[in-house]
């Protein structure tokens, strides 16, 4: 979810290179941007998620974000939750903090019985993950 919006190389050519076994020869380029992906999930997820509930996603695209539909049912009167991750917003910006703010703003606009982790992409969580990697000797 995070890398496709910033992929500059034609995605089909990347897929063809994978199929043909020539991916190592393929020049793959990305925009020099940061991304943060936040998912809206049904309340109660993952143990006892609500489903069959209508959600409202703003029809206009939020600046600096991409919207991806996941586990939703489209019906004549709108979108309905299933029991898994429903939609994702990827914030795209020059810094992770700006990308997180864009994703947070967009996902907060979804109406219905959903929740999302507000800490994803924040400096506090990133610092915690970096410290963990140092602790286990991976950095």
- The CATH number assigned to the domain holding 102 equals 3.90.600.10
Instruction: Give the DSSP H or E segment for 129.
Output: helix 123-135
Low pLDDT (below 70) residues in the chain: none
- Into how many domains does the chain fold? 2
- Say if residue 125 is in the same domain as residue 81: yes
Residue 89 CA to residue 61 CA, distance in Å, equals: 10
Residues of the domain holding 106:
33-135
- Say if residue 25 is in the same domain as residue 37: no
Given a contact cutoff of 8 angstroms between Cβ atoms, the answer to whether 96 and 13 are in contact is no
Strand 65-69 relative to strand 78-81, pairing:
unpaired
Predicted TM-score (pTM) of this structure: 0.88
- Say if residue 79 is in the same domain as residue 21: no
pLDDT tens, position by position, 108-136: 999 999 999 999 999 999 999 999 999 99
- Say if residue 21 is in the same domain as residue 66: no
Alpha helices in 23-121, H assignment, sequence order: 96-107
**CB 123: neighbour CB atoms within 10 A?**
10
- Say if residue 57 is in the same domain as residue 17: no
């Amino acid at each position: 979810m995070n890398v496709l919006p910033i992929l500059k190389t034609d995605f089909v050519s990347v897929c063809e290179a994978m199929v043909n076994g020539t991916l190592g020869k393929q020049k793959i380029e990305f925009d020099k941007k940061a991304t943060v992906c936040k998912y809206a999930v049904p309340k109660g997820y993952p143990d006892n998620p609500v489903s069959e509930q209508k959600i409202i996603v703003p029809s206009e695209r939020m600046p600096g974000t991409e919207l991806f539909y996941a586990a939703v049912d489209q019906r004549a009167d709108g979108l309905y939750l299933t029991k898994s991750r429903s939609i994702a917003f990827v914030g795209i910006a020059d810094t992770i903090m700006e990308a997180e703010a864009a994703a947070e703003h967009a996902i907060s606009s979804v109406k219905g019985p959903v929740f999302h982790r507000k800490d994803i992409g924040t400096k506090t969580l990133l610092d915690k993950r970096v410290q963990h990697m140092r602790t286990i000797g991976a950095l």
